[in-house]
Chains A and B, each alone.
Chain A
Amino acid sequence: MPLILIAALPFLGALLPGVMIKAGRNACAWTTASVTLAALVGLLVHAPKVLAGEVIHYRLDWMPVVGLNANFFLDGLGFLFALMILGIGLLIIIYARFYLGRQDPMGPFYTYLLLFQGAMVGIVLSDNVLLLLVFWELTSLSSFLLIGYWKHLPEGRQGARMALAVTGTGGLALIGGMIILGQIAGSYDLSVILTQKEAIQASPLYLPALILILIGAFTKSAQFPFHFWLPHAMAAPTPVSAYLHSATMVKAGLFLMARLWPVLAGTDAWFVIVATTGLVTMVLGATIALFKDDLKALLAFSTVSHLGLITMLLGFGTPFAAVAAVFHIINHATFKAALFMTAGIVDHEAHTRDIKRLGGLRHLMPITFVIALLASLSMAGIPFLNGFLSKEMMLEEVARTRLGIPLLLPLVVIVAAALSAAYSFRYLGHVFFGDEREDYPQTPHDPGFGLWGPPAFLVALVVLIGLFPAAIAGPLVAASAGAVTGGDLPYYSLKIWHGFTPALLMSVLAVMGGLMLLLFHYPLDKRWIATRRPEAKVIFDTVVALCVQVSRRITDVLHPGSMTRYTAIFAITVLIASAVAWNSSTLAAPGRELLPVGMVGVIGWILIVVSTGILVVYHRNRLLSLILLGVTGTIVSISFIYFSAPDLAMTQIAVEVVSIILLLLALNFLPKSTPAEGGVERHLRDVIIAGAMGIGAMILTLAIQQSDFSQPTISAYYLENAKTLAGGYNVVNVILVDFRGFDTYGEIIVLGIAALVIYALTEQLLGGRVGRKLADRPHDPTLSGDLHPMMMVVATRVMMPLALMVGVFIFLRGHNAPGGGFVAGLVVAIAILMQFMASGYDWAIARQRFTYHGIIGLGVIAAILTGVASWLFGAPFLTGAFAYYKLPLIEEFELSSAMAFDLGVFLCVVGAVMLALESLSRLARRKDDRTRTHPMDIDPSRTEDEPRPVPPGTAPAEAH
């Protein structure tokens, strides 16, 4: 199976659970399991080659320009992790089927789980660091969903948020580190980066890159001081904890360190940072774990501790330590996932996971007891179980490594190992041994096979690896450790008896110490509870609250919802920016004469100055403001014509009309006057800002009009090439649909989305309380009763075909003369709006055969098809083509691909304008508005005995 498919299968499969849940919970679980099984089989097919040391590649260029390619590779390390992710994933899926209660929605659970699985597989198979980062973020997001799966529990939501905040921040650091790494190595492909050890370690950027990458790895793998999120993530359902927090996600950080081990490890910085962090985490995690009463919290901190152990081994930087680390990754995944599952079984059966309320379960749950016994003894490091073997290797390496003063490291590690043994024994002793208790919330008993089968399978591995390490795990360890060290492996032997070595002595000391600690657990526990400790959650919450407060401060100043404030901020920013630009560059001397001012120009100037001046005075009267705005808009359009831009003028006037309609529709529901606000000082401040802005704009305009640009403008290029390259004489239109067609393509899509959003918001509003209130509002008796005057109806009916014809005309000639799809769309939309206003909503909508959504969609599809069509000719997206034809009777005409694209623009504009305005006008509909069949208030063709329709809002007395 191609590697990309192994990574993609879980993502594709994530669509299935939501569908299959309709067929029942078993079908849903089996479908999910079969997806994972398929990916697992696909992976195992590669096993012989990978175990023989071969590396399998799969390359797919995605965005080669930025170095982001969908390249995957499978070596021993990736194989080991993928095997754990898919193998344990399969067991978890089975376990979760029986663990989840009746009230837990199963479809979303399996969807999240598969998304997470796909992201994890993606991380371990990626051969491109940018791709790896994408998957890395996906694991953070999908684990957020999984941890917060029990949405009704506040701990679940808070834990999920904390995990996302910590791992997400780490992910940001990782992005920085990886990009530096890629820059040093000259490629973002891992297989290239891994060959650049000398270049990377010699680079001055090595240390920043190392620290950033380690922050990413440490946050993910819950290393001190970022360890605190993991215990809080235990609010997740136990299958999630068993999967994410034992076998997979927390190992992603370890994976990253192991993956980059060949290039990053071996320096002093690496040794000091990684080994020390690992050591501290190991001791700290083990200490806290011993005193946790919640079964899952105990396991969570023990996981923190073991992750610290593996980190420390990777930090040593020796090949032997790397082998030990890889071996412990395998062992830890098996026994810890099994332990989490037994904790879940206890919780599921006894309805509590408080160790102080548990005890004597060995008689009540014999099967669970055996599983827990073997798994926790392995965790404690007892011989004949796999945990012993890797711990021996770790101790052996520690015995010959020196950190600081001699003997310090071995002593600290013995303490940590003793603590580790102690909490393992506590898990057994305080839960399964001891007196049988009577006060369980529910009398526990062994669950069905579905729940104990998966952990039993893992425990079988624990025992088998413990007994026959070389036979069972040997090849996998060799292949994956070989991939980590990237070269020859040191001498090591996976066997139980190595003779009387220092490691054995340390191991014995640790186990004895563990037993002693458990013996004295009661007094120690009292002492622990009495001590004041820094509580991570409190610190985290304080930091978050502080961040929120600071952000709120900033937001309150910059984003208070006041238009005045926004305009002021905008104006000041522009003023400062232009002042800087003005002062830091030189202006060409004025080289052009100003044109003489004609009489008409003076009149236009008077009109616009007076109307805007009056607007300032009367701005509280909103309708009057709109009328004055109409004056300004018209003069702006006219001045476009005067300055030889007739197409701009046409567009401007059409946009004016549409926006006036929009504003009037809105004003219907708004107060008709603006309240007076602020004192003299505020007005003075506003006058100064506005005045400075106006004067600045004037200076700039004068400067532009009098002198040339310092650089040649691009206009000349367009003017020269519009005809030869795109076949059009209308340069503006050619730029829109051809030269910069891709921009237009994006813009029409945005336009369509905006209209759809307006529609959706209106629907939402009308469906709720506001909608009912609007529909029930009383009629205003002061309004005119003349809803649809006959003159208006007739006039617009006559105008309709004319307007449509003009629209078609403007559209067709757009490529060569002023016009085009955008203006034509506006003209046609206005023609239709005319009918809405004159003949009424019901009458017009009844004659509407296509929905506006569909028209927008058609427009976008037309644009896409035009773009895609150029692929057929081997040209890039949206490449234009044109030709001139001659038919009898009519003049020579042009056919170009841009025309099809322009059609898309046209349809989008018509659809978007109509959908937006129609949605807004629906707000004004009342409940008692009858559907009207006549366009006019008076039906001219009526006979005398038919009653006249009564317009709503008029008094009944007028109705005859």
Chain B
Amino acid sequence: MITMALWFAMAAYGAALLMNLHRILKGPGVGDRILALDTMVINFIALIVLYGIAVGSSLYFEASVVIAMVGFISTVAYARFILRGNIIE
């Protein structure tokens, strides 16, 4: 049962990733693209956790924590760049 659920979830997140890619390519604005990239990172985190459950190792969970913690910083940086040009002021 859990295997099937995992596969289903993975398929769903994989589809989400493709949609993210579509948004990044299509835009239309830079903001859309940045948000799509951020969402993509989140979907990836979900995939890592799922994969960790699938292979039964806690290492993947930790990796996903680190990615979650630092991954959003680049989104912030992109956003600040568009808004203010300078990201540290």
Question: A residues engaging B (CB < 8 A)?
Answer: 599-600, 603-604, 606-607, 610-611, 614, 623-624, 626-628, 630-631, 634, 637-638, 641-642, 646, 649-650, 653-654, 656-657, 660-661, 664-665, 667-668, 780, 783-784, 786-787, 792, 799, 802-803, 806, 810, 817-818, 823, 826-827, 830, 833-834, 836-838, 840-841, 917-918, 921, 924-925, 929
Contact A653 B81 (CB under 8 A): no
Contact B69 A803 (CB under 8 A): yes
Name the interface residues of B15-56: CB closer than 8 Å to any CB of A. Answer: 17-18, 21, 24-25, 30, 33-34, 37, 40-41, 44, 47-48, 51
Contact B76 A837 (CB under 8 A): yes
Contact B44 A638 (CB under 8 A): yes
Contact B63 A649 (CB under 8 A): yes
State whether A837 and B80 are in contact (beta carbons under 8 Å apart), knowing that A802-B69, A806-B65 are contacts in the complex: yes
Contact B37 A631 (CB under 8 A): yes
CB distance from B79 to the nearest CB of A (A): 9
Contacts of B17 in A (CB 8 A): 603-604, 607
Q: How far is the CA of A714 from the CA of B31 in the complex (A)?
A: 48
Q: Which of A600, A630, A826 contacts B14 (CB under 8 A)? A: A600
Chain A proximity mask over B48-89: 1 for CB below 8 Å, otherwise 0: 100100000001101101110111011011101111111111
Q: Which residue of A lies closest to B63 (CB)?
A: A646
Contacts of B81 in A (CB 8 A): 623, 664, 667-668
20 further interface pairs, Cβ-Cβ under 8 Å (given A661-B77, A667-B81, A836-B88): A599-B11, A606-B18, A606-B21, A610-B25, A630-B74, A642-B51, A646-B59, A654-B66, A657-B70, A657-B73, A665-B86, A665-B88, A802-B69, A803-B70, A810-B66, A827-B70, A837-B87, A840-B89, A921-B88, A924-B85
Contact A780 B44 (CB under 8 A): no
- 13 example contacts (A-B, Cβ-Cβ < 8 A) are as follows A623-B82, A627-B34, A653-B70, A657-B70, A665-B88, A792-B76, A803-B69, A806-B65, A818-B59, A833-B73, A834-B73, A834-B76, A840-B89
State whether A638 and B84 are in contact (beta carbons under 8 Å apart), knowing that A630-B74, A840-B89 are contacts in the complex: no
Q: Which of B33, B74, B84, B89 contacts A661 (CB under 8 A)? A: B74
CB distance from B48 to the nearest CB of A (A): 6
Q: Which residue of B lies closest to A628 (CB)?
A: B24
Contact B88 A830 (CB under 8 A): no
Tally of contact residues, B, Cβ under 8 A: 43
Question: B residues engaging A (CB < 8 A)?
Answer: 10-11, 14, 17-18, 21, 24-25, 30, 33-34, 37, 40-41, 44, 47-48, 51, 59-60, 62-63, 65-67, 69-71, 73-74, 76-78, 80-89
Contact B11 A784 (CB under 8 A): no
Contacts of B37 in A (CB 8 A): 627, 630-631, 634
Contact A830 B73 (CB under 8 A): yes
Contacts of B47 in A (CB 8 A): 600, 638
Contact B24 A627 (CB under 8 A): yes
Q: How far is the CA of A641 from the CA of B88 in the complex (A)?
A: 31
Contacts of A646 in B (CB 8 A): 59-60, 62-63
Contacts of B76 in A (CB 8 A): 792, 834, 837-838
Interface centre among A614, A657, A802 (most CB of B within 10 A): A657
Q: Which of B33, B65, B88 contacts A837 (CB under 8 A)? A: B88
Contacts of A834 in B (CB 8 A): 73, 76
Q: How far is the CA of A803 from the CA of B72 in the complex (A)?
A: 13
Q: How far is the CA of A823 from the CA of B67 in the complex (A)?
A: 12
Contacts of B41 in A (CB 8 A): 634
Q: Which of B14, B33, B59, B86 contacts A603 (CB under 8 A)? A: B14
Q: Which of A610, A614, A650, A817 contacts B66 (CB under 8 A)? A: A650
Contact A929 B69 (CB under 8 A): no
Contact A600 B10 (CB under 8 A): yes
Q: Which residue of A lies closest to B44 (CB)?
A: A638
Q: Which of A627, A653, A783, A833 contacts B71 (CB under 8 A)? A: A653
State whether A641 and B69 are in contact (beta carbons under 8 Å apart), knowing that A630-B37, A837-B77, A841-B89 are contacts in the complex: no
Contact A654 B70 (CB under 8 A): yes
Contacts of B86 in A (CB 8 A): 665, 668, 921, 924
Contact B66 A917 (CB under 8 A): no
Contacts of B65 in A (CB 8 A): 806
State whether A924 and B18 are in contact (beta carbons under 8 Å apart), knowing that A649-B63, A660-B74 are contacts in the complex: no
CB distance from B19 to the nearest CB of A (A): 11
Contact A634 B44 (CB under 8 A): yes
Contacts of A641 in B (CB 8 A): 48, 51, 60, 63
Q: Which residue of B lies closest to A925 (CB)?
A: B89
Interface centre among B17, B48, B63 (most CB of A within 10 A): B63
Contacts of A799 in B (CB 8 A): 69
